Amino acid sequence: MSSDVKILDGNTFVVSDNAGDIDASLTDPTGLFSFDTRFLSKWVLTIDGRRLNPLSVDDLQYFEARFFLVPGTGTVYVDAKLSVIRQRAVGGGFHEELTILNHDDKAVDLDVRIEAGCDFADLFEVKDALKKSGDYFQRIDGDRLVLGYRRETFERETWISATAPATVDEHGLTFAVTIAPHGSWTTDLHVATGMDAPGQGVAHPKYERNAKKARPNMARSLDKWLDEAPRLECDWGSLKATYQRSLVDLAALRFSPVALPGHYLPAAGLPWFMTMFGRDSIFTSLQALPFSAELAATTLTALALWQGSQIDDFRDEDPGRILHEQRFGEMTAFEERPHSPYYGCADATPLYVVLLDEYERWTGDTRRVRVLEATARAALDWIDDYADLQGNGYISYKRRNEKTGLENQCWKDSWDSISYRDGRLPGFPRATCELQGYAYDAKMRGARLAREVWKDLAYAERLEKQAADLKRRFNRDFWVQDGEYFALALDADGGQVDALASNIGHLLWSGIVDKNKARKVVRHLMGTRLYSGWGVRTLAEGEGRYNPIGYHVGTIWPYDNSFIAWGLRRYGFKEEAARIAAGILDAAEFFEGRLPEAFGGYPRELTKYPVQYPTACSPQAWSTGAPLLLLRTMLGLEPIGDHLVVDPALPQGIGHLELLDIPGRWGHIDAFGRGTVDVARMGRGRKQLGVLPADAVRPTARPREHKH
Amino acid sequence: MADVTRQFFEGLAAKGHEPLLESFTGTLRFDLRDGERTEHWYVVLTRGDIVVAHDDGDAEAVMGTDLATFDAILSGEMNAMAALLRGVVTMHGRSILLLAFQRLFRGSVGAGDELRTAGYSRERS
């Protein structure tokens, strides 16, 4: 089986084999996809009835690829008289420039064919191998082939056409081609996706209208994105490469919601999760704030548009709740899946308020905070009015959609992620600890916004009082006395779900931990049961369900670690934060700068390299954001009023690090640091380790005069 | 049936202002088919201020469906987004206006408050 080639633009993407062909069965995840629907499941090029062999593939950009092919069978040496180049760019369908070169000194007659077909599968059907209930049709409109699918009023069409003369039949396009000696032949193929309502006409793809301009526009938007991001100078080459990789991947993960054309938020993962997710979009926006505030701005605006407004059990919706996931496919359209949108997550709503406040701290954009006041208040109300399922003053979750809703509505959403020490699973509702931290932080930050922007002092005081009460109760009810850490959750009886897990690091980030308990929490985070040498495990070694390659029960998540590092900074544990950063950024070197969603929790001295956990989605947004947040925590960047405070604590081995032109309410600021924190020196990371610069630390921040 | 739709727009007109829409300005039209005829509702939105007319003017955003579907959406029996994906409802123009506005559809459902929790913090503060 040849390896997949993926290119994408927002939620439109093409997955093909390395010859550029698509030949998918229902459950094969290949094809042209847009708005969660497959628009091509067959796209096969033949010359004189034979398929072509790939010589090489260039992934030119995330949105375009070039395939070099030759005819013939799989012999080792190829001595073909023909070569074929397919250059493909995606966007509202895709555009493919097909070129055939004749290397012979004789003219050649060829029968060139593109075989096309489509099953119009919903992404959920591809995942779960479900049958379709509508009807297929094909139509020839002049020189265009139209593939279609209809179920009641639901209609999707794929339009296929070429610039060269072609014979069109219901299964493809055929070209009778004669190529002169040492000559060439070219055609542009257009594949357009249509999902407008019947009688309204099918939307034209970007390329149909403006084939030659689309690609340069996209390239320019990538250049502009890279140009506007802060510049990193550093003597650790791997970190520079990781930073660059993160920026490019984040560009690819940008997703423009239908309602906000030209504005981008981070989708969750590429390519199967190219849609709005409350939790993932918020966490990634938080990670990226020092580098691009636009992602946060769009996330805040888009999530507000879809904020829950009624009680809907099928969608697990309540008034004020922030959505979990939005989808556009057939199963969502016919309410066989609840994603229109689905609201079943318990953390996105408090995190929304956290992001709004953090966004204002960086940008000073009080206008947006005023516009979103009603949204933020409704989110804060949700915490008290709809999330306290047990009436004990804590957020807990229990799905109301028992069929297609999510059981675990926290970030560790797999079935066995929340357990007692002995491995038993609690019933529902479950009040996981990090949710209480987010609620505390949301109330504290909401209070700041109420005081400084909304000018409602009474509301600010009320929120602060509630937060203080929550913090007091939390430190009493969740504290596991005999282990000296916070329980993973409270169960339906209010009992402690007492496994030791990475969630305690999020508690530091939220600020809900009493000062006198913080050191004990840190000791656990950096102890051998949780810390592997690469990072903090999701579940501690020794717990009943611990498994170093278990999804949420022992693997290490870079995103999780980046927020733990932020939490360590918040409580003043700079050196420990530097150690987390060093481990994760060392691991990034092994993954060539692209951190996976998760990797194995094996001890570092055992495996010497981080063991990748197999996942379908790469890059993943919040893993892509992790190095960005770690740069922030290493440099100790903290906006205070109109200033950016810089307080670096870098691992030894980084001689110098400069982050230039950090944008914010201060204009642009440069931050500098030198590595002084002693960290474990293993593996091949940071080759210059141990070289302590002669002039030691000098934290500096220098405001920039110029603006961009 | 058409009473639901009429009540919705007349209710909006009477209210005259909607805090959820304070960041929006624009014009919207709802073309609601009822057999042979089409009923039009026209909304002028100015930073949350709402003026409603029962006529057919040029609008920046237009939503089209049949009256029975619109009634079903307003009464909470049908989900507007799913209906849009099915092609039962169409949207043209500045979709953000319609997406912002559709929150009022759902808000109009007289949802029971049985799921509202005790409000622990509120009671104690």
pLDDT digits (tens, 9 = 90+) for A616-637: 677 899 999 999 999 999 999 9
B90–A contact, CB cutoff 8 A: yes
- Nearest CA-CA distance, residue A95 and chain B, Å: 25
Whether residue A423 is found in the same domain as residue A474:
yes
Residue A172 in domain: yes
Nearest beta carbon to residue A332 from set B85, B89, B119? B85
Confidence bin at A706 (pLDDT 50/70/90): very low
Q: Which of A258, A371, A392 sits opposite B120 (nearest CB)?
A: A392
Enumerate the residues of chain A whose CB falls inside 8 A of the CB of residue B103: 305, 307, 309
Per-residue CA distances from A348 to A12, A84, A276, A277, A306 (Å): 25, 49, 12, 9, 13
A27 compared with B87, residue with greater pLDDT: B87
Contacts of A123 in chain B (CB under 8 A): none
* Interchain pair A305, B99: CB under 8 A: yes
- Are the Cβ atoms of B120 and A393 closer than 8 angstroms? yes
> In the predicted model, what is the mean pLDDT of residues A595-609?
92
User: Residue A384 is which amino acid?
Assistant: D
Q: Which residue of B has its CA nearest to A464?
A: B125
pLDDT band at A105 (very low <50, low <70, confident <90, very high): very high
Question: What is the CA angle A104-A108-A112, rounded to 5?
Answer: 120
Alpha helix (H) residue ranges in A325-432: 330-333, 348-363, 366-371, 373-385
Pairing, β B25-34 against β B61-66: parallel
Q: Is A365 in the same domain as A475?
A: yes
Specify the long-range contacts of residues A128-134, CB closer than 8 Å, at least 24 apart. Answer: A129/A26, A129/A27, A130/A331, A132/A330, A134/A330
- Do A245 and A203 belong to one domain? no
Residue B57's CATH number: 3.30.1050.10
Task: Give CA–CA dist A635/A688, Å, rounded.
Answer: 19
Q: Which residues of B touch A333 (CB under 8 A)?
A: 82, 85-86
Position A691 scores a pLDDT of 38
**Do A371 and A463 have their domain in common?**
yes
CA A177 from centre of chain: 44
Count CA within 13 A, CB hemisphere, residue A679: 33
- Residue-by-residue DSSP string for A297-364: HHHHHHHHHT---S-BTTTTB-TTPPPSB---SHHHHTTSS--SSB---SSHHHHHHHHHHHHHHHH-
Structure tokens at A172: 């493809």
The secondary element (H helix, E strand) that includes residue A623 is helix A621-635
Residue listed under structure tokens 């459950």: A27
Task: Give the DSSP letter of residue A528.
Answer: T
pTM value? 0.92
> Is A48 inside a domain boundary?
yes
* Cα–Cα nearest to A94, from A168, A19, A40: A40
Tell me the residue range of the domain where B58 lies: 2-124
CA A477/CA A484 separation, integer angstroms: 12
Give the integer Cα–Cα distance in Å for A494 and A342.
28
State the pLDDT at residue A258.
Answer: 82
What's residue B112's pLDDT?
46
| In contact, A61 and A219? CB cutoff 8 Å | yes
Chain-centroid distance, C-alpha A672: 29
Domain tally for chain A? 2
Q: Which of A183, A217, A251 is the last residue of a domain?
A: A217
Instruction: Tell me, yes or no, whether A333 and A467 share the same domain.
Output: yes
User: A469 CB near a chain B CB, below 8 Å?
Assistant: yes
Whether residue A224 is contained in a domain is answered as no
**pLDDT at residue A211 is higher than 70:** no
Split into its structural domains, chain B has a count of: 1
Interface contact B37, partner A, CB < 8 A = no
A85 assigned to some structural domain: yes
The CA distance from A627 to A519, in Å, is: 25
CATH number at A432 reads 1.50.10.10
Task: Write down which residue in A195, A217, A239 finishes a domain.
Answer: A217
Q: List C-alpha distances in Å: A112 to A5, A89, A115.
A: 23, 21, 10
Contact B121 A371 (CB under 8 A): no
Which domain does A154 fall in, by range?
5-217
Q: For chain B, what is the radius of gyration of the CA atoms?
A: 16
Q: Which residues of A touch B118 (CB under 8 A)?
A: 388, 391
A61: which 2 tokens?
């950009």
Q: Chain A, 567-606: which have a CB under 8 Å from a chain B CB? A: none
Q: Do A136 and A205 have their domain in common?
A: yes
Q: Is the residue at A274 inside a domain? A: yes
- Please indicate, yes or no, if residue A625 is contained in any of the structural domains: yes
Give φ, ψ of A314 to 5 degrees. -60, -40
Q: Is A458 on the interface with B (CB under 8 A)?
A: no
Min Cα distance A124 → chain B (Å) is 15
Instruction: Tell whether A396 is within 8 A of chain B (Cβ).
Output: no
**pLDDT on residue A279:** 98
Shortest CA gap B96–chain A (Å): 4
Using an 8 Å CB-CB cutoff, list chain A residues near B89: 197
State whether residue A154 is helix, strand or coil: strand
Chain B hits for A474, Cβ within 8 Å: none
Among A35-39, A251-255, A421-425, A696-700, the least confident range: A696-700
Residues from chain A contacting residue B90 (CB–CB below 8 Å): 196-197, 200
Residues A189 and A240 in one domain: no
Rounded Cα distance between A23 and A16, Å, is: 8
What ipTM does this complex have? 0.89
Contacts of B88 in chain A (CB under 8 A): 153, 197
Looking at beta carbons, which residues of chain B come within 8 Å of A258? 95, 99
pLDDT tens, residue by residue, A217-267: 566 688 899 999 999 999 999 999 999 999 999 998 998 888 888 899 999
State residue A271's pLDDT score: 79
| B4 shares contact with chain A (CB less than 8 Å) | no
Tell me the C-alpha distance between A488 and A499, whole Å.
6
Nearest in space to A364 (alpha carbons), one of A676, A595, A667: A667
Q: Please judge whether A388 and B96 are an interchain contact, meaning their C-beta atoms are less than 8 angstroms apart.
A: no
- Residue B110 contacts A, CB cutoff 8 Å: no
Q: Are residues A581 and A672 in the same domain?
A: yes
Q: Is B117 in Cβ contact with A389 (below 8 Å)?
A: yes
Residue A318 within any structural domain of the chain: yes
- Residues ≥6 apart with Cβ < 8 Å to A467: A440, A443, A444, A447
Q: What is the mean pLDDT of residues A282-307?
A: 97
B17 at interface of A, judged by CB pairs closer than 8 A: no
Structure confidence at residue B10 (pLDDT): 93
Q: Among residues of chain B, what percentage have pLDDT more than 70?
A: 82
Q: CB of A252 within 8 A of CB of A270? A: yes
Cβ separation A153–B115 shorter than 8 A: no
Strand partners, A53: A70
On whether any CB of chain A is under 8 Å from the CB of B100, the answer is yes
- A260 in the same domain as A180: no
Higher pLDDT, B70 or B22: B70
Q: Are the C-beta atoms of residues A273 and A280 closer than 8 Å to each other?
A: yes
- Rounded mean pLDDT of A27-44? 92
From B89's Cα to the closest Cα of chain A, the distance in A is 8
Minimal Cα–Cα distance from B102 to chain A, Å? 9
Question: With contacts defined as CB-CB under 8 Å, which chain A residues touch B115?
Answer: 311, 318, 386
Percentage of the residues of chain A whose pLDDT score is greater than 90: 77
Smallest Cα distance from A444 to chain B, Å:
14
Choice among A61-75, A107-121, A547-561, A578-592 with the minimum mean pLDDT: A61-75
Q: What is the mean pLDDT of residues B61-78?
A: 92
Runs of H (alpha helix) within A372-432 = 373-385
Alpha-carbon span A674 to A685, nearest angstrom: 17
pLDDT of A348-362, one tens digit each?
999 999 999 999 999
CA distance A662 to A643: 12
Q: A688 falls in which pLDDT band (50, 70, 90)?
A: very low
Of B19, B89, B122, the CB nearest to A374: B19
Residue A696 has pLDDT above 60, yes or no: no
Contact A305 B100 (CB under 8 A): yes
Minimum-distance CB partner of B121 among A329, A332, A466: A466
**Domain match, A618 and A573 both:** yes
In this prediction, what percent of chain A has a pLDDT beyond 70?
91
Question: Could A384 and B106 be called an inter-chain contact, meaning their C-beta atoms sit closer than 8 Å?
Answer: no
> Is the pLDDT reported for residue A197 higher than 70?
no
Q: What residue of B is the nearest CA neighbor of A367?
A: B23
Q: Rounded to whole angstroms, what are the CA distances from A615 to A10, A322, A598?
A: 20, 27, 8
Chain B neighbors of A332, CB-CB under 8 A: 82, 85
- pLDDT value at position B15? 94
Please tell me whether residues A208 and A261 are part of one structural domain.
Answer: no
Token representation of residue A481: 């006395």
* Tokens matching residue A13: 């993407």
Q: Which of A189, A217, A245 is the last residue of a domain?
A: A217
The number of residues making up chain A comes to 708
Mean pLDDT of A273-283: 95
Q: Would you state the pLDDT for residue A385?
A: 95
Same domain (yes/no): A212, A353: no
Q: Which of B94, B96, B106, B117 to mutate to test the interface with A (most CBs of A within 10 A)?
A: B117
Q: Would you say residue A198 lies in a domain?
A: yes
Q: How confident is the model at residue A202, as a pLDDT?
A: 43
CB count within 10 Å of CB A213 equals 11
- Total residue length of chain B: 125
Smallest Cβ–Cβ distance between A385 and the set B22, B96, B116 belongs to: B116
- The answer to whether residue A594 scores a pLDDT higher than 90 is yes
| CB < 8 Å from B in window 305-324 of A | 305-307, 309-312, 315, 318-319
Does the pLDDT value for residue A208 go beyond 50? no
Distance from CA of A302 to the nearest CA of B (A): 10
Alpha-helical segments (H) within A27-155: 123-128
Give 3-state DSSP helix, strand, coil % of chain B, rounded to 5: 40, 30, 30
